[in-house]
Amino acid sequence: MKPSLYNRKVILSPYLVFRTPELKGQYLSGKFHPGLYLKMNAAGFWHFENTGAQAVITSLWRQDGIHSCFRAADFRTRHIDPFLSEHWETWLNVTFKYYGKGGCQTALLHDVGLGNHLHLQVGPREPIPPIPDSYVVGKKED
Ligand SMILES: [Zn+2]
């Protein structure tokens, strides 16, 4: 994983689980955009409220596209009704504006060869959200 601009202390969310231990390590590295952490947590909370289960993160950093910029995460959707997946996507898009190119959006249900999943992203102009140190993403302590 290449270096990132963001280097924050991260606390695990009770609403998220990871497909692999490597993904959990990536999440805990604090290298992702703080706005993405906020949205991953919101997505996990919505999933738990609506399915009774934690959301599964299936991909974080990888070498292609926006995933290589520490600004995207993928979530499992194959275990839930497609109708509910669409609600999840819609809720994320009406709740979170995408700060970037017109026509792009925060959440996208799609299949890129590995099965249908929910892609979550923050744009290049996403502001750094103000989050209390005691919450999910805080300033790194030295
Ligand atoms: Zn993706």
Confidence check: pLDDT of 134 > 70: no
Backbone angles phi, psi at 24, to 5 degrees: -60, -40
Cα(120) to centroid(ligand 1), Å: 6
State the average pLDDT for the chain. Answer: 89
How far is Cα 7 from Cα 4, in angstroms, rounded to an integer?
A: 7
Q: Kindly report, residue by residue over 23-75, the tens digit of the pLDDT.
A: 999 999 989 999 999 999 999 999 999 999 999 999 999 998 999 999 999 99
pTM over 0.75: yes
How far is Cα 32 from Cα 26, in angstroms, rounded to an integer?
A: 8
| Plot region of 70 (φ>0 → left; ψ -120 to 50 → alpha; else → beta) | left
Cα(73) to centroid(ligand 1), Å: 6
Around 52, how many Cα atoms within 13 Å sit in the side-chain half-sphere?
0
Q: How confident is the model at residue 136 (pLDDT cuts 50, 70, 90)?
A: low
Domains in the chain with CATH codes: 12-124 (3.30.1380.10)
Cα(141) to centroid(ligand 1), Å: 30
Cα(27) to centroid(ligand 1), Å: 15
Q: Kindly report, residue by residue over 79-114, the tens digit of the pLDDT.
A: 999 999 999 999 999 999 999 999 999 999 988 776
Q: Helical H runs in 30-131?
A: 34-51, 82-95
